[in-house]
Amino acid sequence: MQRPHHEPAFDDEPRRGRVSHEDMLRVALFAGMADAAGTRQAEIRWRGGSVADLRAALEAAYPAIGGLLARSAVAIGNRYAADEAEVPATADVAIIPPVSGG
């Protein structure tokens, strides 16, 4: 007796090596941080994690912003977030570098 052949559905296939659009988090960068990164909108692979995890992922992807990133605020939606806060994969995120002036 022959077993029926199971055709894998799209969701059954492993996603190794493929990055879908849903896996990418867009992060708005401003001022000197945008200059250092070479873009006003950073994109990183992201499935969720804390603000601290996000800082580490951004620094790994854009090493030139590391020093400034440590001193910058992170906004999720329209609110500043602490390093312990969760950053959902679908979040609207901005990194706000320190400002100077008088």
Domain borders along the chain are 22-96
DSSP state letter for 71? T
Q: Structure pTM? A: 0.76
Distance in angstroms (rounded) separating the CA atoms of residues 49 and 61: 16
DSSP state letter for 21? G
Enter the CATH code of domain 22-96.
3.10.20.30
Distance in angstroms (rounded) separating the CA atoms of residues 19 and 17: 7
Model confidence over 20-66: pLDDT tens digits?
A: 556 899 999 999 999 999 999 999 999 999 999 999 999 999 999 99
